[in-house]
Homo-oligomer: A and B are copies of this chain.
Amino acid sequence: MPQSLTKIKKDFTEGLSQISRFWGFPKGMGAIFAVLYLSPTPLSLDEIVAETGLTKGAISTEIRALARMGLVHRSTKLGDRKDYYAAETDFYAAIKSILKERQNSEFDRAVKSVKAALTAMDENWVDNDEWKFTYKRVQALQEFFEAIDSLAKAVIKLESLGFSNVTKILGVLK
């Protein structure tokens, strides 16, 4: 008694929804991606409504976020005014795209505020132990962020982040 494709798709979609939530995105976002990812052809907004049960409004805003991250692509058909959406299937490309997006994010602003704390201290140095201690700690964190940042930038620069590169990294880490 074979499990129906419908059931499998549903389970898969639920799985991605949870993964989405885990990363702090709405679970609906994961569901939208899953539906597109399992569709052989690009889907229109209304088709996504039908598949996910979400409303047009929600999908409209969330799919824009997905597009900004490079996880879905919007296309049109000649003589059809609907938009059609397809999932990005090259996940390595998606990672690059997400990392790029990250650069202008709230996160980066916060990271910069650590850097700012450091320069603020530089500019009006007070020579006591507490001051020195604080400085060192802030500096250490800043350096850590910088390391992470150069990693991210290195990944962005790769033309392709395929399995070969991942394998290389694994090799070095041995």
Chain A interface residues toward B at CB < 8 A: 1-3, 5, 8-9, 11-12, 14-16, 18-19, 22-24, 37-38, 40, 89, 91-92, 105-107, 109-111, 113-114, 116-117, 120-121, 124, 126, 130-131, 133-134, 137-138, 140-141, 144, 147, 150-151, 154-155, 157-158, 163, 165-166, 168-174
Contact = CB atoms under 8 A, between A and B. Distances in A.
Main SS of chain A's interface residues? Answer: helix
A117 B15 contact: yes
Given A110-B22, A117-B11, A117-B15, A126 B173 contact: no
A37 B89 contact: no
A2 B154 CA distance: 38
B154 A173 contact: yes
Nearest to A121: B8
Chain copies in the assembled complex: 2
30 contacts: A3-B121, A5-B126, A5-B131, A8-B117, A8-B134, A9-B134, A11-B113, A11-B117, A11-B120, A12-B113, A12-B114, A18-B113, A19-B111, A22-B24, A22-B105, A22-B106, A22-B110, A23-B24, A24-B24, A37-B137, A40-B130, A91-B141, A91-B144, A150-B170, A151-B166, A154-B169, A158-B173, A165-B172, A165-B173, A168-B172
